[in-house]
């Protein structure tokens, strides 16, 4: 084993792999879900969706240990401290097993209440639903272990191996129900297939960890001294993990309480549409988090700042054109997608949320940096502040302005999040504002601002759509050419062409 060496080409390829790891399952879902819905019927599909969501959200029971494991393992690899790896990894896994067992007991006690009292389920489907949820609860330990083992591989920047496992497993979450429908399986039978896929993923991650880190084969016992840093770090991560879903749904709660449930529908549709754009910053953040931890542990301040600057620049350049176009053509897109009624009610919401997503995309980099340098306490505290801030704004704005007020509250919360995150990394001297500007961010912000202003003129002009579309396309093409020529430096261009060449070679070999 040798110390982990990071380079920009490796991180760029890993980001591209993570993006593909999201796109492939979503593409399969687009085809498979209609078949499953027709085969199961709306109610059984609803139960299966609930089961799949629970399977995905079981990770919250790990109390942040998965992310803590990734950070500490990344530090060990960057410092060459391989003797510490077994202590950290096996302590984390044994702790996950304990938390998983406790979580299983809790869920087993809640299932009868959930099935018989909280959910409105047809009498003929009660038994299948209860059995399916019992099967899921028994898999909790395996799911948590798989998340932790995947984090070990991510700490070593082995996102290639992670995606070799993750893409087939996530794809199977849609293909296996389709197979179950084809072979006329019951709901519990389909859930058993889903659980088996997650078990297979955990086994594959374990085999990969033992292969890449032979030191893990020796000592399988937990280490008491390693537990405290894992728990302290994981505790603050859990605060953020618990609050994030509340931040996601607090606006809809106020809309449903102060306006109407139909208004929730008019708000949720554009919200869910814009939320799909989150895949770009989320996959980059997943790639950068272990890299930030490694660079901080090795004291590479200059490389850390350079990586942040290039990451923010990449996110803005990738996200800005699509999100700004979405804002300009919000009414036309909603009319084509959901009809004239949604276009009239939700267009302003989509425009405001698109701007909020652009700001959020950039602020996710300092969020990952804060957790990477060991300050999850700040991200947890900021999440609490933002929850109070957004709830207060929603209470005031939703009453007077309805769903548009809720969208404004979300936008202002995104602005506050960016101020807090960037302010914290500047305060900790992890980054400097002049340093970011000197590394190409000044030209990036100028290019995005000019594109935004130009597209805003297209929107204000309100000309014929046949004129607006080619004009907007010309502006975006000009933006791309200007960015390639003046915003990106030689290193950026080499990374883009090198990554494209790498994947082209991989594709040709696969064929």
Give pLDDT, residue 130: 82
Q: Would you place residue 487 in the very low, low, confident or very high pLDDT band (cuts 50, 70, 90)?
A: confident
- Would you say residue 172 has pLDDT above 80? yes
The residue-averaged pLDDT of 311-336 equals: 88
Q: Where are the alpha helices (DSSP H) in 80-158?
A: 85-113, 126-138, 140-155
The residue-averaged pLDDT of 261-266 equals: 75
Q: Would you place residue 2 in the very low, low, confident or very high pLDDT band (cuts 50, 70, 90)?
A: low
List the one residue out of 364, 370, 297 whose CA is nearest residue 72.
Answer: 297
* Alpha carbons 395 and 123: distance in angstroms, whole number: 39
Q: Would you place residue 408 in the very low, low, confident or very high pLDDT band (cuts 50, 70, 90)?
A: very high
**Exposure letters 6-25 (e unless 16+ CB within 10 A, then b):** bebebbbbbbbbbbebbebb
* 232 Cβ contact list (under 8 Å, min separation 6): none
Q: Would you place residue 478 in the very low, low, confident or very high pLDDT band (cuts 50, 70, 90)?
A: very high
- Would you say residue 364 has pLDDT above 80? yes
* Alpha carbons 184 and 162: distance in angstroms, whole number: 32
- Would you say residue 67 has pLDDT above 70? yes
Give pLDDT, residue 228: 84
- Would you say residue 260 has pLDDT above 80? no
- Tokens matching residue 270: 């554009």
Give pLDDT, residue 420: 95
- Would you say residue 389 has pLDDT above 90? yes
- Tokens matching residue 240: 């953020």
Give pLDDT, residue 413: 94
**Exposure letters 470-482 (e unless 16+ CB within 10 A, then b):** ebbeebbeebeeb
More confident residue, 158 or 110: 158
The residue-averaged pLDDT of 220-233 equals: 80
Give tens-digit pLDDT for 152-165.
898 888 888 888 89
The residue-averaged pLDDT of 362-368 equals: 89
- Would you say residue 81 has pLDDT above 80? no
Distances (CA, A) of 183 to 40, 106, 189, 322: 12, 33, 10, 41
Mean pLDDT is highest, among 8-22, 255-269, 479-493, for 479-493
More confident residue, 56 or 275: 275
Mean pLDDT is highest, among 71-85, 89-103, 411-425, for 411-425
Please state, for a pLDDT cut of 90, what percent of the chain lies above it: 14
């Amino acid at each position: 084993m040798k110390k982990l060496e990071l380079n920009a080409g490796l991180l760029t390829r890993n980001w591209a792999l993570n993006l593909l790891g999201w796109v492939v399952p979503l593409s399969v879902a687009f085809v498979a879900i209609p078949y499953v819905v027709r085969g199961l019927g709306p109610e059984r599909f609803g139960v299966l969706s609930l089961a799949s969501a629970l399977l995905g959200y079981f990770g919250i029971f790990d109390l942040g240990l998965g992310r803590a494991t990734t950070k500490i393992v990344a530090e060990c690899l960057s410092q060459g401290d391989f003797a510490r790896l077994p202590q950290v990894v096996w302590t984390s896994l044994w702790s996950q097993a304990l938390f998983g067992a406790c979580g299983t007991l809790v869920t087993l006690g809640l299932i009868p209440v959930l099935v018989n009292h909280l959910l409105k389920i047809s009498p003929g489907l009660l038994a299948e639903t209860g059995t399916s949820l019992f099967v899921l609860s028994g898999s909790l330990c395996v799911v948590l272990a798989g998340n932790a083992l995947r984090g070990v591989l991510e700490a070593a920047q082995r996102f290639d191996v992670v995606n070799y496992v993750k893409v087939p497993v996530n794809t199977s979450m849609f293909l296996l129900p389709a197979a179950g429908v084809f072979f006329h399986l019951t709901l519990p039978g389909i859930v058993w297939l889903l659980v088996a896929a997650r078990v297979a993923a955990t086994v594959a991650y374990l085999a990969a960890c033992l292969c890449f880190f032979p030191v893990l084969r020796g000592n399988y016992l937990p280490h008491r001294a390693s537990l405290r840093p894992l728990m302290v770090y994981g505790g603050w991560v859990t605060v953020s993990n618990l609050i994030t879903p509340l931040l996601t749904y607090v606006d809809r709660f106020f809309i449903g309480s102060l306006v109407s449930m139909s208004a929730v529908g008019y708000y949720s549709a554009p919200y869910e549409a814009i939320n799909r754009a989150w895949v770009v910053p989320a996959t980059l953040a997943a790639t950068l988090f272990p890299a930030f931890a490694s660079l901080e542990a090795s004291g590479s301040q200059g490389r850390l700042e350079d990586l942040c600057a290039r990451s923010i620049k990449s996110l803005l350049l990738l996200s800005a054109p699509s999100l700004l176009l979405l804002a300009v053509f919000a009414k036309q897109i909603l009319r084509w997608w959901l009809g004239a009624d949604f276009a009239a009610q939700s267009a302003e919401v989509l425009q405001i949320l698109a701007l909020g997503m652009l700001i959020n995309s950039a602020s996710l980099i300092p969020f990952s940096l804060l957790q990477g340098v060991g300050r999850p306490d700040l991200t947890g505290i900021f999440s609490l502040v933002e929850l109070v801030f957004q709830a207060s704004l929603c209470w005031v704005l939703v009453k007077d302005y309805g769903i548009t007020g809720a969208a404004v509250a979300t936008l202002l919360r995104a602005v506050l999040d960016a101020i807090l995150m960037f302010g914290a990394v500047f305060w900790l001297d992890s980054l400097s504002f002049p340093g970011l500007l000197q590394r190409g961010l000044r030209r990036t912000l100028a290019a995005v601002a000019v594109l935004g202003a130009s597209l805003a003129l297209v929107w204000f002009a309100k000309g014929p759509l046949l004129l607006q579309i080619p004009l907007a396309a010309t502006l975006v093409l000009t933006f791309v050419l200007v960015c390639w020529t003046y915003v990106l430096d030689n290193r950026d261009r080499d990374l883009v062409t090198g990554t494209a060449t790498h994947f082209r070679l991989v594709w040709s070999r696969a064929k």
